[in-house]
A and B are shown apart, each in its own frame.
Chain A
Amino acid sequence: DAKTTQPPSMDCAEGRAANLPCNHSTISGNEYVYWYRQIHSQGPQYIIHGLKNNETNEMASLIITEDRKSSTLILPHATLRDTAVYYCIVRRIAGGGADGLTFGKGTHLIIQP
């Protein structure tokens, strides 16, 4: 699976949009971009994933550049509960997704009151 690069930490004011960047310049055509987050002392939580089109769900939006070499996760109205480590993962889906996830160090997002 392709490697990803994320800033180690970011701050965002409560109520503002949090934009978390991720570089994945070696992504292959059959690899998806996934985002998970991990709140302190809990298991990771799936947020969103996409292939090449922008995606939106009740938690966040995912913007993938046209060349697919980078993406941005957007939390539209950040709250204090969004403070967590956010992981960008590039993953090839194979055999129904039986392969595991490769987590990097992620971005520690701190929402400031």
Chain B
Amino acid sequence: SQTIHQWPATLVQPVGSPLSLECTVEGTSNPNLYWYRQAAGRGLQLLFYSVGIGQISSEVPQNLSASRPQDRQFILSSKKLLLSDSGFYLCAWSASYGRASYEQYFGPGTRLTVT
């Protein structure tokens, strides 16, 4: 069966510090991968998605970036965090074809607090 991992689970970082969040998927190959953010009291917002290694699409301009160095690894980064980057970051995957591609499966999330 497929499993999605995210780490760390929680993170407290000062303003201006760098960020690296990692997401890995097991049990599937060539998945579509997604990064979402949920700010306090707000809905989920799609940040990035990827259909393959090195292929990243950005949905919202910001000081965050994403990379996909391996098929089942998705990384969210920032060079300098802002207070507004605080939130709940969720990684998700979906199959790249077939009926299973209709569903997205979410990881446990990383709660980031920028101080």
Contact = CB atoms under 8 A, between A and B. Distances in A.
Interface residues of A, number: 23
> What range describes how many residues of B lie at the interface?
20 to 34
A43 B97 contact: no
Contacts of B92: 43-44
Interface string A75-104: 000000000000100000101111111111
Contacts of A42: 108-109
Contacts of B88: 41
Given A44-B90, A93-B102, A100 B59 contact: yes
A49 B104 CA distance: 12
What does DSSP make chain A's interface, helix, strand, loop or mixed? loop
A87 B43 CA distance: 10
Contacts of B108: 42-43
Contacts of A100: 34, 36, 46, 49, 59, 104
